[in-house]
Amino acid sequence: MTTTVRFAPSPTGFIHIGNSRTALFNWLYAKKRGGRFILRFDDTDLARSKREFADQIEADLAWLGIAPDRIERQSARFDAYDAAAEKLKQAGLLYACYETPEELERRRRIRLQRRLPPVYGREALKLSEAEKAQFEAEERKPHWRFLLPNFESDPAETRRTEIQWNDIVRGDETVDLASLSDPVLIREDGTYLYTLPSVVDDIDMGVTDVIRGDDHITNTGAQIALFRALGVEPPAFGHHNLLTTSTGEGLSKRTGALSIKSLCEDGIEPMAVASLATLIGTSEAVSAVPGMDDLTAGFDITRSSRSAAKFDPAELLVLNRALLRDMPFEAAKERLVALGVSGERAEPFWLAIRGNIEKLSDAKDWWSIVTAGPRRPVDFSDDDREFVRTAFELLPSEPWDHGTWKVWTEVVKAQTGRKGKALFAPLRLALTGVPSGPELADLLPLLGREGTLARRP
């Protein structure tokens, strides 16, 4: 059977680097197995789901290098959920409940006082037809709960019922269904919570492997029971650890913090995000992986740790620098053209500066320095100005190449007696206007003799 995975965000905000970890885990897992990747929008919450968020998620995935084989929206599939709900009702596995949130809270407190687990006590199952008719007459709308199979014959007598699975990431996992409340599948207003639609979709779309965050482990217990109640053997499940900030806070879609969109706008390379989101919190060292194929080749889902993965956004910049430092000209070319960097000098320019930039857009500043000179006139001391003028008189004749810098500075050194910093720092300042940057041996041929002389103070 073809491995089929899905990434199922609800389009209620921008996805962040933690969500991208789930997307990447699914994508890499599928790629490794020649499988298929479905992007499924969990948009049953019509009020909070927005098309603009869904479109942005598609754009974010494309930016990361993830190309879904299929895109589905839950909002287009209500008929399928209605049919499944009807089937469960017919089987007596989906039952109407009329409690208000206050009533439920009161009962929960009583159970806690009696040292009973604070789960729903299935009181609604005991309602008589007359009582239900009375509620209907009062126009009280029911919510609907799935009857978990955690009892022998009397639902009021629950007993330990282990749901076990061999988790793709974590190994053997167990959830005791007696520790859970019967999950609400349908709200009072008739809308579906995530639990049932997800299972129906996974069945209808032939999902073979459900890979998601470990905040869903308990859900998995209930959902496996739901698959079986619908007469289908459940897929395989894998739960990866979540990302938290360095202070241990979870990431939230709502705050927009570390959203993929904002990282892209900030000039972070997609492979910096993909490398960090995939490798952090695993037994692999985090390194800047240049492309998705390399990331796929080295990916092993079982290597992620069980505990939450703390990550420091500053690491993205470290990875960014490393990716740029090794980025071939061909990979940068089009983006450089968009920054105005083109022509014969573009390639040697890129090779000269790529090791000295944090973001690709920094190339623009260096291009301006190379083509137009320092941003503002350099404020030399009288001594240094004299020295630079003398040095400029000693410039060799063209053609120039990488060796020209050495030839020139040797002559300058011999003539002026200056060496080390006193020799190099004023020359660097005269040529670039800034105290540090790319190798001058690389920059000098880009400036040419004429360009260099134009910088004479």
Alpha carbon separation from 406 to 89, 351, 402, 410, 416 (Å, rounded):
85, 19, 8, 6, 15
Nearer to ligand GLU by C-beta: 158 or 198?
A: 198
Q: Does 194 bind ligand GLU (CB under 6 A)?
A: yes
State which residue, 198 or 409, has the beta carbon closest to ligand GLU: 198
Contact between 10 and ligand GLU by CB under 6 A: the answer reads: yes
CB 431, min distance to ligand GLU, A:
53
**At its nearest, how many Å lie between ligand GLU and the CB of residue 224?**
12
* Piece of the chain touching ligand GLU by CB under 6 A; list 7-15, 112-120, 287-295, 313-321: 7-15
Of 64 and 324, nearer to ligand GLU (C-beta) is: 64
Distance set, CA 387 to CA 145, 384, 419 (Å): 85, 5, 12
The distance of closest approach from Cβ of residue 189 to ligand GLU in the complex, given in angstroms and rounded to an integer, is 19
Nearest distance in Å: CB 307, ligand GLU: 20
Q: Does 234 bind ligand GLU (CB under 6 A)?
A: no
253 binds ligand GLU (CB under 6 A): no
43 counts as binding ligand GLU under rule CB under 6 A = no
Q: Which is nearer to ligand GLU, 196 or 369 (CB)?
A: 196
Residue 9 binds ligand GLU, judged by CB under 6 A: yes
| Residue from the set 143, 170, 212, 418 that interacts with ligand GLU by CB under 6 A | 212
Indicate the residue among 8 and 225 with the shorter CB distance to ligand GLU.
8
> What is the closest distance, in whole angstroms, from the C-beta atom of residue 425 to ligand GLU in the complex?
55
Give the total of residues touching ligand GLU (CB under 6 A).
8
Query: Is residue 73 at the binding interface for ligand GLU, with CB under 6 A as the rule?
Result: no
Is residue 198 part of the contact set for ligand GLU (CB under 6 A)?
Answer: yes
HEC-encoded secondary structure of the chain? CCCEEEECCCCCCCCEHHHHHHHHHHHHHHHHCCCEEEEEECCCCCCCCCHHHHHHHHHHHHHHCCCCCEEEEHHHCHHHHHHHHHHHHHCCCEEEECCCHHHHHHHHHHHHHCCCCCCCCCHHHHCCHHHHHHHHHCCCCCEEEECCCCECCCCCCECCCEEEEEECCCEEEEEEHHHCCCCEEECCCCCECCHHHHHHHHHHCCCCEEEEEHHHHHHHHHHHHHHHHCCCCCCEEEEECCEEECCCCECCCCCCCCEHHHHHHCCCCHHHHHHHHHHCCECCCCCCCCCHHHHHHCCCHHHECCCCEEECCHHHHHHHHHHHHCCCHHHHHHHHHHCCCCCCCHHHHHHHHHHHCCCHHHHHHHHHHHHHCCCCCCCCCHHHHHHHHHHHHCCCCCCCCCCHHHHHHHHHHHHHCCCHHHHHHHHHHHHHCCCCCCCHHHHHHHHHHHHHHCCCC
In the complex with ligand GLU, which residue's Cβ is closer, 10 or 404? 10
Toward ligand GLU, which CB reaches closer, 25 or 299? 25
**Residue 440 beta carbon to ligand GLU: minimum distance, rounded to whole angstroms:** 52
Q: Among residues 240 and 321, whose Cβ is nearest to ligand GLU?
A: 240
- Exactly one of 89, 132, 216, 385 binds ligand GLU (CB under 6 A); that residue is 216
8 binds ligand GLU (CB under 6 A): yes
Closer by beta carbon to ligand GLU, 170 or else 212: 212
42 binds ligand GLU (CB under 6 A): yes
Q: Which is nearer to ligand GLU, 211 or 446 (CB)?
A: 211
Q: Is 418 in the site for ligand GLU (CB under 6 A)?
A: no
Asked if 437 is part of the footprint of ligand GLU (rule: CB under 6 A), the reply reads: no
Residues near ligand GLU (CB under 6 A) are 8-10, 42, 194, 198, 212, 216
